[in-house]
Amino acid sequence: MLINTKKSKKRQKPDWLKINVPGGREYLAIKEIVTRHELNTICTNGQCPNICDCWGRGTATLMILGNVCTRSCKFCAVKTGKPAAVDNDEPRRIAESVKLMNLKHCVLTSVDRDDLRDGGAEIWAETINAIKSVNPDTTIEALIPDFQGKFDHLVKVIDAGPEVISHNLETVRRITPQIRSVADYDTSLQVIKYIAEADIRTKSGIMAGLGEMEKEVYETMNDLLKMGCAVFTIGQYLQPSYRHLPVIEFVTPEKFEGYRKIGLEKGFKFVESGPLVRSSYHAERHVC
């Protein structure tokens, strides 16, 4: 089944996808730090539905290398276009903000920066090193782009020593060309394999509700396990705007629970599966 990429009216969400309005002391404290230090977060730029929960628990996923992506994936809410110049002071500001937030576990992600010679790998490494220097007890998950499959760039992130490195497949093989503007399914698998062979906990995730079949989800699980992936996440795709891909199906909580059980039976160490699950949701669980 081909996905209609024309502008489409959003489907009404079922009751199990109701999201609380952000608020509370911890949420406001995180918001103040993010604003004051001019930080980008995937929580806001990516319109994450868990911002209330995560910020309310005093956690956030920090996004480096700006807030404009060089790619234009049809599912993503992050702006696309020509990014600003690299902010070389960003690693210091990120490290100090992690300390202010008192994070025990920090998730970093970034936009794709295909305009940079190394895809931003050097800033990735500097940011991880800065966080570890200022916050020696904080563990780190790096949710990385594919760096165009260039392992000499990827190794810079690996050598910085994050406890977990995550790279998302986003969807099943068949649908990948329809929703990812540059990234390739097999390239992503090779990135995951390279990370796993470096003896770092490896993680990946996909979205449900884009027209995938159950058997394709299981095939994707098998592909990831063959590459050495230890953690798998799957959550409901939500259409960010009328310009993005429509939701084909709202997957029920019961079906997500079935994916969780089968994923664990297949051999993943951790499986996060549910309508509101995102790749960095409850990421602190995946370090041990």
pLDDT of residue 178: 93
Residue 13 pLDDT level (bands cut at 50, 70, 90): confident
Q: What span, in angstroms and rounded, lies between the C-alpha atoms of 183 and 187?
A: 7
Q: pLDDT of 187-238, one tens digit each?
A: 999 999 999 999 999 999 999 999 999 999 999 999 999 999 999 999 999 8
For the entire predicted model, the pTM comes to 0.86
User: Tens digit of pLDDT for each residue in 270-285?
Assistant: 999 999 898 877 777 8
Residue 171 is assigned to a structural domain of this protein: yes
The answer as to whether 254 is a domain residue is yes
Let me know if residue 2 belongs to a domain: no
Q: How far is CA 169 from the centre of its chain?
A: 10
Count of structural domains within the chain: 1
Please report whether residue 165 resides in a domain.
yes
The number of C-alpha atoms within 13 Å of 119 and in the hemisphere containing its C-beta is 20
Which range is least confidently modeled, 6-15, 41-50, 228-237? 41-50
* C-alpha separations of 50 from 43, 59, 83, 84 in Å: 8, 11, 26, 28
9 inside domain: no
In a domain, 119, yes or no: yes
Does residue 13 form part of some domain? no
Mean pLDDT of the chain: 86
CATH number for the domain including 56?
Answer: 3.20.20.70
Whether 4 is in a domain gets the answer no
Kindly report the three-state secondary structure assignment for every residue of the chain: CCCCCCCCCCCCCCHHHCCCCCCCHHHHHHHHHHHHCCCEEHHHHCCCCCHHHHHHCCCCEEEECCCEECCCCCCCCCEECCCCCCCCCHHHHHHHHHHHHCCCEEEEEECCCCCCCCCCHHHHHHHHHHHHHHCCCCEEEEECCCHHHCHHHHHHHHHHCCCEEECCCECCCCCHHHHCCCCCHHHHHHHHHHHHHCCCEEEEEEEECCCCCHHHHHHHHHHHHHCCCCEEEEEECCCCCCCCCCCCCCCCHHHHHHHHHHHHHHCCCEEEECCCCCCCCCHHHHCC
Question: Residue 163: its pLDDT value, please?
Answer: 96
Its domain, for residue 269, covers 20-286
